[in-house]
Amino acid sequence: MYMEVQTRANTRVHHEIAKEPAEFISTGATDASSVAFLNEVFCTAAREAVSDVHFEDTESECIVRFRRNGELYEVARKPLQASREFDKQFRVKCKKSLMERLTPQDGKFRFSVDGRMVDVRVSILPTGVGQSIVCRLLDQASTLMRLDELQMPSAVRDAIKMIVAQPQGLLLVTGPTGSGKTTTLYGILQHLNTPKVKIITAEDPIEYRISGIVQSQTNEHLTFASALKSMLRQDPDVILVGEIRDSDTARIATQASLTGHIVLSTLHTNSAAISLTRMLDLGVDANALAASIGGFMAQRLVRCLCPHCRVAKPIDSYARAQMLAQGVPESEVNCTDVVYAANRDGCEHCSRGWVGRTPVFELILPTQEVRQAVEEGDLKGLERAARAQDQYQTLSQHAMRMVLSGVTSLHESMSVAGSSFIVE
């Protein structure tokens, strides 16, 4: 009953948002230039597939930056008077107080670009010299890829299909913000999305809307834990929990996966294996986790070198040492004579030598040895059991193999997936 009421409430909110102006509106000559700038900036950001727009006050001005393909770069500098107008416009759009300046504020709004609507999630943080405002763009027109369309090793894709083909199990996808977890999980949902399967999600926020799936958005009244409890009364086959943040959510998700449900969720950990430690820290019973686990997966995104202008370099002792230190077999390293770096001048096909990003994965399947290690809370045992699996490679190993294949650079691999930083 609660879920039905909440669904109606979410629908009403969506209708209210739809009635809002599809752009920033000027109220007079004092804010006209700032409003025009905001409208231009957000349209440009959406057209260029920018993920985040940053507005950062300094003592003398406001710096505006875009994050695209994981990289931040400056696009404008504006006077502080304009920054105050930006702050006012965001607060009006998000229906936040214009007077409360001492506490952080979160909100959302929508704007129109090229005939489509783009959702924006806003975070306002007071600083010592003003405000830091970060806007995450969630473009509903972005093409959501099915599992078969995602860039990943075939062994990993086949393993994921095997996991979600089971009648029950908990698949945890780990990684920092912006590592592609949502894209992967939505790809899995679309793989499973048929009229015979009931799929329910609890998200914060709903990043993309998918036909045929019941999606709910958390708020101060509907937490992940309370949403999970309600979901279990909705006769679901598959449940997606946007993130496991607390003990209640972790325990309920684990129990749900033991009672005939596929449960998908995310964690913030550095590797797939550390998911075990994190879940135990959240109070999940080790026996229950061992019985419920469908898989631990970690992922990152590495930038791709432009194939038209990448710069070839002979593989040297430093590069070899880095790869061998990460566990890449010497036979693989010896098969390559060159590695590539970015051409900082770029070309007509790229941006400073880079074109998009691609994921690297680390996946642990629930073999008998893995379940035993989980039951005993044995992290080292879990890592040993993982290394015996055909599809398993660490994030660093996968990233280094991307270097050997010419997809990315050694420096990018080391900065994203980690490195021993060996000195020649």
What one-character DSSP code corresponds to residue 209? Answer: -
**Which residues have CB under 8 Å from 100's CB, separation 6+?**
none
What pLDDT sits at residue 420? 56
- pTM of the full structure: 0.84
Alpha-carbon distance of 328 to 410, in angstroms, equals 13
- Decide the pairing of beta strands 238-241 and 262-267: parallel
* Predicted pLDDT at 3: 46
pLDDT in tens, 90-121: 999 999 988 888 899 999 899 989 888 898 99
DSSP, res 266: E
**Quick one: pLDDT at residue 1?**
45
Assign domain 31-139 to its CATH architecture: 2-Layer Sandwich (3.30)
Query: Which residues of the chain form CATH 3.30.450.90?
Result: 31-139
Tokens of 208: 């993309």
CB-based burial of residue 99 (10 Å sphere; 0-12 exposed, 13-18 middle, 19+ buried)?
exposed
Which pLDDT value is given to residue 33?
93
C-alpha–C-alpha distance, residues 241 and 227, integer Å: 9
Buried b (16+ CB within 10 A) or exposed e, 261-298: bbbbbbbebebbbbbbebbbebebebebbbbbbbbbbb
Spatial CA neighbour of 14 closest among 192, 215, 213, 171 = 215
Residues of the chain with CATH 3.40.50.300: 154-309+345-393
CA distance linking residue 72 with residue 66, whole number of Å: 6
Q: Give the pLDDT score at 417.
A: 84
CA distances 382 to 257, 360, 376, Å, are 20, 20, 10
Q: What single letter denotes the amino acid at residue 75?
A: V
For the chain, which residues score pLDDT lower than 70? 1-20, 141-143, 419-424
Is 238 within 8 Å of 198 (Cβ atoms)? yes
Alpha helices (H) along 232-326: 247-258, 274-281, 286-292, 317-325
Beta strands at 262-267 and 169-174: parallel, antiparallel or unpaired: parallel
CATH architecture for residues 154-309+345-393? 3-Layer(aba) Sandwich (3.40)
126 CB burial (10 A radius; 0-12, 13-18, 19+): middle
Write the Ramachandran bin of 37: left for phi over 0, alpha for psi from -120 to 50, otherwise beta.
alpha
List Cβ neighbours of 32 (8 Å cut-off, separation of 6 or more). 26
What does the pLDDT read at residue 141? Answer: 65
